[in-house]
């Protein structure tokens, strides 16, 4: 954790965001909660599912149901461990619906902020 002006506590992104814009957004984001950053690629809006960083210190590495929220809307997704890489996971079932209904576009940067560790609820901020 780092300290910022005015004694606001800021956590760092749990991953190293890919792309200059994603790194810039993550650097400016202020939260007391763990978060990770994803830069939306065209493939994430068709067939591919985004990788999620290792959340080992936050969530155990097994198949989990998660809820993601934007404003008043919410979607249920699966968070799956990757069999070929024990250090990453993928967002699965429900991702396509979320991407379509939330209007994600290639180049958008999403911050997934863990707001409820017990129930695995992420608040999504789209930039």
Q: What are the tens digits of pLDDT across the range 13-53? A: 666 677 777 778 778 888 888 888 888 889 888 877 787 77
Domain that holds residue 23: 2-126
User: How much is the pLDDT for 51?
Assistant: 78
Which residues are within 8 A (CB) of 70 and not within 5 positions of it... i.e. 6 or more apart? 102, 123, 124, 126
Q: Report the number of distinct structural domains present in the chain.
A: 1
The model's pLDDT over 69-103, given as tens digits with 9 standing for 90+, comes to: 999 999 999 888 776 655 677 778 888 899 999 99
Q: How confident is the model at residue 11 (pLDDT cuts 50, 70, 90)?
A: low
* Site of tokens 């210190």: 57
d(CA 9, CA 124): 19
77 strand-pairing partners = 66
* Nearest of 84, 92, 20 to residue 52 by alpha carbon: 92
List the structure tokens of 62: 């097994």
- The answer, as to whether pTM is greater than 0.75, is yes
User: How much is the pLDDT for 24?
Assistant: 81
CATH number at residue 70: 2.40.330.10
User: How much is the pLDDT for 2?
Assistant: 46
User: How much is the pLDDT for 45?
Assistant: 86
């Amino acid at each position: 954790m780092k300290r910022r002006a005015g004694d606001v506590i800021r956590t760092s992104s749990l991953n190293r965001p890919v792309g200059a814009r994603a790194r810039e957004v993550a650097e400016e984001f202020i939260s007391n909660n763990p978060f990770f950053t994803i830069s939306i690629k065209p493939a994430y809006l068709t067939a591919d599912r985004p990788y999620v960083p290792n959340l080992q210190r936050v969530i155990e590495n097994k198949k989990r149901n998660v809820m993601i929220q934007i404003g008043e809307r919410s979607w249920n997704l699966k968070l799956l461990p990757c069999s070929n890489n024990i250090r990453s996971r993928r967002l699965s079932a429900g991702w396509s619906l979320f991407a379509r209904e939330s209007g994600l576009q290639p180049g958008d940067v999403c911050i997934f902020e863990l707001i409820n560790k017990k129930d695995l609820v992420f608040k999504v901020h789209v930039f």
